[in-house]
């Protein structure tokens, strides 16, 4: 179920003013601080595979070099099978190959951060934020907001 559908069912806003997408959204759907058994909350710290694949496709369409866009990826050590804060790593590769990052046997999740090496766009999937933030050029943001397969909301921007 998409957040927009849950908002229609509960009457809650998708993201209340002053909040970011998180466990504090949809208070009407929660009972005693927990989600009903019939609703599975989003995976914390990771996109689902279908959304990851679609997001990579949209990024590829808007990347400076399409599938050949040079990218960097980072997995939060807390999301890895072996937590190691002393050996932090960033992986480099092509955006066209980013789909395989979801199948990292050490993680089992999408990367925490993925960004174009030229810094034209960046995405961040935070464990505490039940969403993935994407910052980039207006055409990319509009494509995400209008994509029928990706549920996106524009977050307030505070300099």
pLDDT band at 92 (very low <50, low <70, confident <90, very high): very high
State mean pLDDT over 34-51.
Answer: 75
Mean model confidence pLDDT for the chain: 85
Whether 25 shows a pLDDT value over 70: the answer reads yes
**pTM as predicted:** 0.83
pLDDT of residue 146: 96
pLDDT of residue 28: 83
The span from the CA of 104 to the CA of 110, in Å, is: 8
Tokens, residue 124: 């961040």
- Residues 6 or more apart whose CB falls under 8 angstroms from that of 23 comprise 41, 130
Q: Does residue 23 or residue 70 have the better pLDDT?
A: 70
């Amino acid at each position: 179920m998409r957040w927009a559908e849950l908002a229609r069912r509960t009457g809650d806003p998708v993201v209340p003013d002053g909040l970011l997408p998180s466990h504090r959204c949809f208070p009407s759907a929660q009972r005693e601080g927990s989600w009903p058994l019939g609703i599975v909350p989003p995976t914390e710290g990771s996109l689902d595979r279908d959304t990851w694949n679609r997001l990579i496709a949209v990024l590829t369409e808007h990347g400076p070099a399409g599938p050949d866009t040079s990218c960097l990826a980072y997995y939060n050590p807390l999301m890895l099978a072996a937590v190691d804060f002393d050996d932090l790593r960033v992986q480099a590769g092509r955006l066209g190959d980013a789909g395989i990052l979801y199948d990292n046997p050490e993680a089992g999740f999408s990367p925490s951060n993925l960004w174009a090496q030229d810094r034209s766009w960046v995405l961040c999937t935070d464990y505490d934020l039940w969403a993935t933030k994407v910052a980039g050029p207006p055409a990319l943001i509009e494509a995400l907001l209008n994509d029928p397969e990706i549920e996106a909301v524009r977050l307030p921007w505070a300099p």
